[in-house]
Amino acid sequence: ELKLPTFRAHSPLLKSRRFFVDILTLLSSHCQLCPAARHLAVYLLDHFMDRYNVTTSKQLYTVAVSCLLLASKFEDREDHVPKLEQINSTRILSSQNFTLTKKELLSTELLLLEAFGWNLCLPTPAHFLDYYLLASVSQKDHHCHTWPTTCPRKTKECLKEYAHYFLEVTLQDHIFYKFQPSVVAAACVGASRICLQLSPYWTRDLQRISSYSLEHLSTCIEILLVPLFR
């Protein structure tokens, strides 16, 4: 992750980013893709837009779908990779009167691969989250600084749901590219522990496996929690 390029937010279509991220999220949910595929797809889209001048909506649709196809082929099971018929039949494309062809998608996939030097081994927060979740709940945790958690298993399940919710929140704003992916994933766990009022907010085990203190994560956690307290 130390070798990841800087996101400059230079794309002339940056205002349309949220719309296309929503498209990728809906398509990946429809095809039951794993979070790693979804996050890699958004990463590819953002960084391609940041480096190259994509000017029309049709071009951006094609690039977005091609990003999702590449990410699913790299991160998910073969039988989960979206089929062309699935893509064209979704309301998202049909409502825009767009129909993508196999030739368009293949040529765009090749363009993307060349743009990224044929390297799709790119870490995203989704690649770190499950590892951090292993240490997300401890037998020593307390609620509201007073009573011990009665059922660590249920607490862990609830925390996992919160963490994956925050993970999806990070897709909605390019501000999270200011932080390394491992920081964002750790912040998702920290924000979840805060929402569940677990004490301490950041445990020694979490600090050990992530190498981050709560101070390292505080800015990212604050950004994650802002929508909940508006």
- Under a CB-based contact definition with an 8 Å cutoff, are residues 202 and 217 in contact? yes
At 2, phi and psi to the nearest 5? -70, -15
Q: Which domains does the chain have, with CATH numbers?
A: 14-115 (1.10.472.10), 125-229 (1.10.472.10)
Higher pLDDT among residues 60 and 148, named by residue: 60
pTM of the model: 0.91
Strand ranges, E, within the chain = 142-143, 147-148, 198-199
Which of 106, 111, 46, 36 has the alpha carbon at shortest distance from 71?
Answer: 36
Distance CA 136, CA 183 (A): 15
User: Mean pLDDT over residues 62-69, rounded?
Assistant: 94
List pLDDT tens digits, range 92-144: 655 666 778 999 999 999 999 999 999 999 999 999 999 999 999 887 777 76
